[in-house]
Amino acid sequence: MKIAFACLAGIAGLSCTQGPKETKKQEPEFRYLAEEFADIKIIRYKVPGWDDLSLQQKTFIYYMGEAAKCGRDIFWDQNFKHNLEVRKCLETILETYPGDREIHDFQEFLVYAKRVFFSNGIHHHYAEEKILPGCTAVYMRHLLEESDIDADIDFLVDIMCDPELYAMRKSSGREGDLLLTSSTNFYAGVNRARAEAFYAAMEDPDNLRPVEYGLNSRLSEKDGVVFEEPYKADGLYGPAIQQICHWLEKAAGVAESPEQASYIKTLIDYYQTGDLALWDAFNVAWVQDTDTFVDFINGFIEVYGDPLGRKGSWEGNVNFMDTEASRRTTIISQNAQWFEDNSPVDPRFRKEQVTGVSAKVINVAMLGGDSYPSTPIGINLPNSDWIRKEYGSKSVTIANITNAYDKAAQESPKNMLDEFSWDEQEVALVKQFGTITGDLHTDLHECLGHGSGQLLPGVSSNALGEYSSTLEEARADLFALYYLADPKLAELEILTDPEAYKAEYINYIRNGLFTQLVRIEPGRNITQAHMQCRQLIASWALQNGNAIEKKVRDGKTYFVINDFGELRQLFATLLAQMQKIKSEGDYMAGKALVEQYAIQVDQELHREVLERYAALELKPYGGFLNPDIVPVYNRKGEIRDLKLEYAEDFLQQQLSYGKAYNFL
């Protein structure tokens, strides 16, 4: 569960017969902000502590990093069945088009290509709608005809330029069948009723340890028969999965411990067979391994992309612990039972015994699939409810990603804080405490929020259907917001200033009600689960209490918190309601909350925020360039070191990945 090619070279030292014997290398200034286009900024992230790792650790990271990149084609294809065709044509145009590349139309095409690469397909990575090129369909046809394209050009032009064709990656279902109006490639010709009936027939309400049915397959229909196409080495996505397994095998050979090597081999067995029981076995072993310094994520995991919230998008990353920063998360996880016992929810829905909660701060060294280029800043896994209850969960806050976001923002001359804050007191609070409370919110959300509470006996983990992702993110956010203001954090010496939590409350309410709307197009409503979550909480609090006031000054709208204590109690009330919905599997109650508070956008407010934001010339979305891990070999062909080089050019990295990891 989630909370977003030139390399720099050192300047060689000079030697001479006089003066200093040695000239120290001057490292070029590291720039976090690589480039900007459309609504996107591309950021580079540092990997601190790389040089302190052992050769074995570096080698493990290199192998797991390759495994993380080998699933790239899978994620593209999951997003939309024609994405790979489109991507390969864009790559061909960029590499072979002989015409003038300086003219306006080609520059518009270039922006379109970058947007598609960023979103891993032709639909916006966050807002779900189809990305349309700024150039005309006539010019797009010209590019295709003049390049070395061996494909149906008419079809490609329609796919890219027709706004009505495959308009939404994930539909809301309000204007037709939820699955048939979605462009995701998780279901092939299967409508919602048949898909739900298919999986309902599989589920046994008496099974206390169910697998995640449907997680690793496409559901298809042919000649009136509905069937699964499993993702496995000799099945769907087989060539890419075989490459993933190749690198996993190599990683197992340099694992930190026999236990780590063992569960990597279980993961390989799962990929070979598609057996979801092996996926559970891998997760049980992985979540109990809290001693390894280097860790990873690899698999079909998050279900946000599936309209029914069942099928996992492929993702991978490799990371290692930030030891000093992990002190905070260690304290939180060690006190998980206290937080659970004191949660403002019905005692029936609390865990009597919190098991295996571990949390740490990490630095990522490679991102892939659903985590690249846009990556979360915090992750809590595994997602299986019974594994979480019996064995616990791992929570991470990704330090070098949040740091890169902050540093990139500092490289921009303008900011949102001054524009959307009501007064200097708000500005001062956020400047003083915003970073620490933002990180702590992520810690509490991932470490405790997702792991809190329990389902009542017989309640399916899929009971909330298409609303499950939004409701689950809101539940975890509310848990974090409630406890940010708790004196327990001062007692634990995590957040000692009693005013500090207010910075996150200010940021959260402002973002949920107002500023996050810069991320969607005019006239649209909210479709992305995390955005829906934030609006649901902020809008519910605004409409069900007096803690928040909408104010207008000089024609500009602000949302001001007048009573922070009351707001915390509103969070407690909504958390209790949200936990009841999840624990009881109350689909209709969950639907009512989401439909009333999470989706609809005030269009007047939207116009205003877009105008004010445009004047700042900022980009609402950020994504990342991966570093390159370059092996250095000795004369025997053995790896003797691995160097980290920081890429600079987004398009060049995308084109290089297209060549190196083109398996489907």
Is the pLDDT at 160 greater than 50, yes or no? Answer: yes
Give the C-alpha separation, 430 to 647, whole Å: 32
Query: For residues 565, 570, 573 and 579, what is the CA-based torsion angle, rounded to 10 degrees?
Result: -110
pLDDT, residue 542, reads: 97
Question: What are the tens digits of pLDDT across the range 93-104?
Answer: 999 999 999 999
Strands (E), 446-597: 548-553, 556-561
* Main-chain phi, psi angles of 468, to 5 degrees: -65, -45
Name the nearest CA neighbour of 299 among 270, 273, 261: 270
Helix (H) or strand (E) run with residue 41 in it = strand 40-44
Q: What are phi and psi of 647, to 5 degrees?
A: -70, 155
Length of the chain: 664
Please report the pLDDT score of residue 8 as a whole number: 26
Flag whether pLDDT at 201 surpasses 90.
yes
Query: Which tens digit of pLDDT belongs to each residue from 384-434?
Result: 999 998 999 998 989 999 999 989 988 877 788 999 999 999 999 999 999
* CB-based contacts of 151, cutoff 8 Å, min separation 6: 85, 89, 144
In a domain? residue 253: no
Contact assessment for residue 144 and residue 135, using Cβ atoms and an 8 Å cutoff: no
Give domain status of residue 190, yes or no: no
- Element at 44 (helix H, strand E): strand 40-44
Taking 50 as the threshold, does the pLDDT of residue 18 lie above it?
A: no
Please check whether residue 627 lies inside any domain of the structure: no
Residue 132 scores a pLDDT above 90:
yes
Count of CB atoms situated within 10 Å of the CB of 1: 24
pLDDT of residue 270 exceeding 50:
yes
Q: Alpha carbon 104 to chain centroid distance? A: 33
Q: Does residue 330 form part of some domain?
A: no
Residue 597 exposure: Cα atoms within 13 Å on the Cβ side: 25
Lowest mean pLDDT among 111-115, 256-260, 380-384, 546-550: 380-384
Question: pLDDT tens across 315-354, in order?
Answer: 999 999 999 889 888 999 999 999 999 999 999 999 999 9
Amino acid at 544: N
Residue 51, classified by CB atoms within 10 Å of its CB into exposed (0-12), middle (13-18) or buried (19+), is: exposed
Cβ(644)–Cβ(627) under 8 Å?
Answer: yes
Distance CA 132, CA 123 (A): 9
**CB neighbours of 150 closer than 8 A, spacing ≥ 6?**
none
355 in a structural domain: no
Q: What percent of the chain has pLDDT over 90?
A: 86
Tell me the average pLDDT across 73-85. Answer: 98
Please give the pLDDT value at position 6.
Answer: 26
Q: How many CB atoms lie within 10 A of CB 194?
A: 16
Question: Do strands 627-633 and 639-646 pair parallel, antiparallel, or not at all (unpaired)?
Answer: antiparallel
pLDDT digits (tens, 9 = 90+) for 38-47: 999 999 999 9
pLDDT confidence band for 2 (50 / 70 / 90): low
Residue 26: predicted pLDDT: 56
Give the domain extent around 113: 83-121+131-161
CA atoms within 13 A on the CB side of 303: 27
What does the DSSP assignment read for 362-420?
A: EEEEEEEETTSSS--SEEEE---HHHHHHH-EEEEEEHHHHHHHHHHHHTSS--HHHHH
Residue 172 pLDDT more than 90? no
Look at residues 565, 557, 570 and name the one whose alpha carbon lies nearest to residue 597.
570
- Amino acid in the structure at residue 43: I
The domain tally of the chain equals 1
Q: What is the pLDDT of residue 359?
A: 87
Using one digit for the tens of pLDDT, what is the confidence trace for 547-589? 999 999 999 999 999 999 999 999 999 999 999 999 999 999 9
- Per-residue pLDDT tens over the stretch 204-254: 989 999 999 999 999 999 999 999 999 999 999 999 999 999 999 999 999
pLDDT value at position 4? Answer: 39
Is 406 within a domain?
no
Q: Which of 149 and 2 is assigned the larger pLDDT?
A: 149
User: What is the percent of the chain with per-residue pLDDT over 70, rounded to a whole number?
Assistant: 96
Looking at every residue in the chain, the average pLDDT score rounds to 93
| pLDDT tier for residue 447 given thresholds of 50, 70 and 90 | confident
Q: Which residue has the tokens 């939309």?
A: 80
pLDDT at position 15? 28
Tokens read off for 242:
């075989």
Region 599-607: what's the mean pLDDT?
A: 95
User: CB-side exposure of 557: number of CA atoms within 13 Å?
Assistant: 20
CB neighbourhood size of 565 (10 A)? 9
Taking phi over 0 as left and psi of -120 to 50 as alpha, with beta for the rest, 206 belongs to: alpha
Q: What is the structure's pLDDT at 13?
A: 28
Report the run of H or E that residue 315 belongs to, with start and end.
strand 314-321
In this predicted structure, the answer to whether residue 14 has a pLDDT above a threshold of 80 is no
| pLDDT confidence tier of residue 485, bands split at 50, 70 and 90 | very high
Which pLDDT value is given to residue 488?
97
Residue whose C-alpha is closest to residue 99's, from 51, 125, 129, 135 = 135
Task: Give mean pLDDT, residues 72-89.
Answer: 98
Taking 90 as the threshold, does the pLDDT of residue 367 lie above it?
yes
Question: Which residues have CB under 8 Å from 284's CB, separation 6+?
Answer: 387, 391
Indicate if the pLDDT at residue 9 is higher than 90: no
pLDDT of residue 309: 93
pTM: 0.85
Q: Look at residue 568 in the predicted model and tell me its pLDDT.
A: 98
In this structure, the number of other CB atoms found within 10 A of the CB of residue 20 comes to 10
Decide if pLDDT at 49 tops 90. Answer: yes
Determine contact, residues 265/253, Cβ cutoff 8 Å. Answer: no
- Give the residue from 195, 245, 200, 242 showing the smallest Cα distance to 218: 195
Name residues whose C-beta falls within 8 Å of residue 488's C-beta, 6 or more positions apart in sequence: 335, 338, 339, 342
The widest CA-to-CA distance across the chain, in whole angstroms, is 86
* Res 415: pLDDT: 82
Rg (CA), the chain: 25
Integer angstrom CA distances of residue 663 from 240, 244, 623, 625:
5, 11, 24, 21
Structural domain contains residue 333: no
**H or E segment at 474?**
helix 468-484
Would 117 be classed as within a structural domain? yes
